[in-house]
Amino acid sequence: MLPKLDRGRIKVRVKKIERNDFGDHKELRNADKVWELRFDFGPDYRVYYGEVEDEDLVIILTGGDKVTQTQDIETAKGLWKYWKENRDDQTQQAIQ
């Protein structure tokens, strides 16, 4: 469990995405458009997300810190691939 102060800071940062203010972030290499938000407090927290092209939509995939970064990136890549492959099915289910 993250400390309360750190959780609050991460929530504020994620909320800023709504205003297209991503702050310190980068697209990951060889990750099929998975991006990483980087935080310079705590144990260097990370949040991984994908952006849906042609839409104002960001999908938060997972998060972690430098210690779990390699595994977190693999998890994010798998979740992003799954979401993209099943997007139409999920949209149809949400409409019904």
Q: Which residues of 14-43 are buried (b: 16+ CB within 10 A; e: fewer)?
A: beebeeeebeeeeeeeebeebbbbebeeee
Q: What is the pTM of this model?
A: 0.86
- How crowded is residue 69: how many other Cβ atoms within 10 Å of its Cβ? 14
User: Does position 27 have pLDDT exceeding 50, yes or no?
Assistant: yes
Reported confidence tier of residue 31, pLDDT bands at 50, 70, 90: confident
Task: Map out the domains of the chain as residue ranges.
Answer: 4-95
Helical (H) or strand (E) element with 38 = strand 34-38
**Single-letter amino acid code for the residue at 83:** W
Reported confidence tier of residue 90, pLDDT bands at 50, 70, 90: low
The verdict on domain 4-95 having CATH code 3.30.2310 is yes
What's the whole-number average pLDDT of the chain? Answer: 90
- Spatial neighbors of 24 by CB under 8 A, at least 6 apart, are 37, 38, 39, 40
